Structure 1
């Protein structure tokens, strides 16, 4: 230990930065006088945990009140708080965040669970958070009220993650986003069973490259508008049970999309993502009535519930995707559908099956006649197929050997296709 203690402060602080938590780093102060204050130079601070007992939370509150103002690092790379007890009061949290902001904070991550009741969603964010010039990453989760002041300006913010928050009003999110000129990555997960209406949600960010939006089943939402022309990754999980409008503008630069939607009509969504190269779909509603063409699509992943709702939907998707190289049929949910609708072999074969499809896979295959007919159809017509991978379901009533034998005996258009069974 003496040899290590003789190292320069900068190197010792770097060594401390690799320990699991800030609490462990602070505990090194008992090693010697040399180590007593080294933790105060740590650029990354991580405090609290979700299952923190009351006694430990009280010790943490006292420690942060006394010691955090003494922190000496001129730049705090990240400040993370995991709060799970009513001991943490809004005024305490605001003070801690303000201290971190005064050190040119670059990342703030706060998770608040069952902290204060009432009010259940307290305002724990200081106003100067919304004018921090150095902040590049902001992550907020849980019982937090987001109230954005009029003078908000976050010129360096690139990543914003908002999960299960309460919004002060329907302008709150739009005001925040419109004052983040370089924002690239946005995640918004709305709160389940929220009695207050979110109203209209607007995401209009010219610089945004990645967007993930989750709307739960019981969310009081009027509708949403998305205007993100530079977007490359788009994830939409719209499980909302109530009627709501939506408007999604064209995304000409889109590379990957994940859609988990149960809307009466999804046409306008598909119309906005026609440039996508990798697409995952889970939906039991009507799709592709608008004659859209996915002329860049190379990889399509379809949830079995989509196929089980209507096998014709898969064929329509394939007809619209002439350059498709890979098709995966899989589960997005844990439950198993009760049975597939009757499969009627189409009179014409989609162009992609004949000319470009190279890989086909089916997860949770149960060997039912309708499922077998679909797999046989691809084997029969896919001329350039290189691999066909079938992963059986544990709940299947058909033995693996029977499934494999049925498929191995089926005709194949590709002489080089490898049939793999798991």
Structure 2
């Protein structure tokens, strides 16, 4: 069926009003209207994808007599076969997929053939409606012998019964399921909601599980799985995660958010990205540790307040790391605790030759500050980018930290000024990278007064020989305050003749005039 759209401006306004009255949240950016010479509806809408699809069949033509006019063309998008349309719609949430049914009669039933479901029970009136909708979806695909490529279900309602989820997942698993994401209320995280056959699915490519439990893993085989995200997933056997990883021969992206595993071991020849999170502090005397042996690893994120030991055997060259760990040092590093000192030293030594880009947080730098009074940090010879989040009380160790980065090109500095320390910080010396490689410095923390932050900026301007750009932010209460800060900065001598000082957010500053 071919549908022509010949819509004058008034008709287009009425169509927008009609769709808005039907309760559909549709968005089209103002600039798109302006470029195409269309009148703007009064409201803003939320989904660009649907309107891009709707307007795929329109073309705007400019003439000398009339600035813009809409010329009807054949609806090329609607001419596409259902299987192709279904693959496109598979990338949208189900609530938006259903909305395409109002575009035209051709689209009225297309959404039913989309081989996937992405649904949150909070988008429906009650949990019963959620169950009925999923039941009808699964039954429709079963009756048409259609595959289910994607199943993403979220349920956070207080009043809900999770018993229905197991048959849904079972049906999807036998229908060539590729993407599975289950996120149920934490009230059910001790119940085995999912079928154990899930871990022997030959077609699964992406698995994301939140707050679910499993008793036993008898047979695990996930030959195509590339992405696995496990958040507070409970296993009777704590070695189950190791078994899972070992049974995924092509796994690339791994994320584990888990507070009850004392030992996390990741051994894989294929993983390129790891995200490990253990947020909760603990007070027991047991040893919590992380062991990673992944020679192709390109990205590592550690957010861990429990582990005292991190053993990284191997990473890919030029890796990026995001470190937020305290090695279980709660306030004070005991000089007599040789085991803890060795653990810290071994961690940085093992990653030093592989890291090109590092983000390091406040707690980690506080531990390093204490460690540097007892030991030295290894050199990071290929590190070119460093984002350091540092407490003001630890600023004095900044030159020592940078001494370990002889080839650093970009430094982002984020100061935590929550402490009451107001005295000047004296930097002991100038590290080698100031002379050889440092080209860009960015101060993420807004400057609200002439104080410690200004002293840090002065340190970089006066000592960096080849610095090209220094970026800062101002946060004075008035334009006058910010002008005084900025003039103070401009008066500092610059070691580099090519250095430019950039003020981020200057537009906001001008609004204070």
Contact between 1:357 and 1:384, CA under 8 Å: does it hold in 2?
yes
TM-superposed CA distance for 1:232, in Å, is 0.4
Which residue matches 2:232? Answer: 164
Structure 2 residue corresponding to 1:314, chosen from 387, 398, 401: 398
> Are residue 128 (structure 1) and residue 128 (structure 2) matched?
no
> Using the alignment, how far apart are the partners of 1:129 and 1:217 within structure 2?
29
Cα distance change, pair 366–79 in 1 and its aligned pair in 2 (3 A): same
Which residue matches 2:348? Answer: 270
Cα distance change, pair 254–410 in 1 and its aligned pair in 2 (3 A): same
Which residue matches 1:174? Answer: 242
Residue by residue over 1:22-65, the C-alpha shift from the partner in whole angstroms, topping out at 9 and shown as x without a partner, is 57529949x87x8776444212311224x356x53202212323
> Using the alignment, how far apart are the partners of 1:161 and 1:257 within structure 2?
18
Contact between 1:169 and 1:198, CA under 8 Å: does it hold in 2?
no
Could you tell which deviates more after superposition, 361-370 or 376-385? 361-370
> Are residue 209 (structure 1) and residue 279 (structure 2) matched?
no
> Using the alignment, how far apart are the partners of 1:188 and 1:293 within structure 2?
30
> Using the alignment, how far apart are the partners of 2:202 and 2:93 within structure 1?
29
Structure 2 residue corresponding to 1:363, chosen from 439, 444, 448: 444
TM-superposed CA distance for 1:280, in Å, is 0.8
The SS at the match of 1:123 is coil
Cα distance change, pair 146–410 in 1 and its aligned pair in 2 (3 A): farther
Cα distance change, pair 370–154 in 1 and its aligned pair in 2 (3 A): same
Structure 2 residue corresponding to 1:42, chosen from 109, 114, 117: 114
Larger CA Rg, structure 1 vs 2: 2
The SS at the match of 1:304 is strand
> Using the alignment, how far apart are the partners of 2:209 and 2:376 within structure 1?
39
Contact between 1:148 and 1:175, CA under 8 Å: does it hold in 2?
no
TM-superposed CA distance for 1:400, in Å, is 1.6
> Using the alignment, how far apart are the partners of 1:394 and 1:110 within structure 2?
46
Which residue matches 1:184? Answer: 252
> Are residue 257 (structure 1) and residue 321 (structure 2) matched?
yes
Structure 2 residue corresponding to 1:300, chosen from 386, 406, 411: 386
> Using the alignment, how far apart are the partners of 2:180 and 2:297 within structure 1?
24
Which residue matches 1:194? Answer: none
Residue by residue over 1:143-190, the C-alpha shift from the partner in whole angstroms, topping out at 9 and shown as x without a partner, is 211445131011111111112332323112111111111111111112
Cα distance change, pair 366–19 in 1 and its aligned pair in 2 (3 A): closer
> Using the alignment, how far apart are the partners of 2:96 and 2:459 within structure 1?
60
Contact between 1:309 and 1:340, CA under 8 Å: does it hold in 2?
no
Structure 2 residue corresponding to 1:247, chosen from 311, 314, 324: 311
Which residue matches 2:169? Answer: 97
> Are residue 392 (structure 1) and residue 474 (structure 2) matched?
yes
TM-superposed CA distance for 1:207, in Å, is 1.2
Q: Which has the higher helix share?
A: 2
TM-superposed CA distance for 1:113, in Å, is 1.8
Cα distance change, pair 96–86 in 1 and its aligned pair in 2 (3 A): farther
TM-superposed CA distance for 1:248, in Å, is 2.3
> Using the alignment, how far apart are the partners of 2:80 and 2:270 within structure 1?
45
Contact between 1:260 and 1:281, CA under 8 Å: does it hold in 2?
yes
> Are residue 421 (structure 1) and residue 503 (structure 2) matched?
yes
Which residue matches 2:152? Answer: 80
Contact between 1:69 and 1:99, CA under 8 Å: does it hold in 2?
no
The SS at the match of 1:412 is coil
Cα distance change, pair 207–20 in 1 and its aligned pair in 2 (3 A): closer
Give the unaligned 5+ runs of structure 1: 192-196
Q: Which has the higher strand share?
A: 1
Could you tell which deviates more after superposition, 162-171 or 125-134? 162-171
Contact between 2:189 and 2:234, CA under 8 Å: does it hold in 1?
no
Cα distance change, pair 67–416 in 1 and its aligned pair in 2 (3 A): closer
> Are residue 378 (structure 1) and residue 437 (structure 2) matched?
no
TM superposition score normalised by structure 2 = 0.70
Could you tell which deviates more after superposition, 88-97 or 170-179? 88-97
TM-superposed CA distance for 1:125, in Å, is 1.7
TM-superposed CA distance for 1:415, in Å, is 1.1
Contact between 1:340 and 1:371, CA under 8 Å: does it hold in 2?
no
Which residue matches 1:351? Answer: 432
The SS at the match of 2:379 is coil
The SS at the match of 1:280 is strand
> Using the alignment, how far apart are the partners of 2:214 and 2:310 within structure 1?
23
TM-superposed CA distance for 1:320, in Å, is 1.2
Which residue matches 1:236? Answer: 302
Cα distance change, pair 67–391 in 1 and its aligned pair in 2 (3 A): closer
TM-superposed CA distance for 1:16, in Å, is 5.2
TM superposition score normalised by structure 1 = 0.84
Give the unaligned 5+ runs of structure 2: 4-74, 330-340, 505-513
The SS at the match of 2:435 is helix
> Are residue 25 (structure 1) and residue 109 (structure 2) matched?
no
> Are residue 60 (structure 1) and residue 133 (structure 2) matched?
no
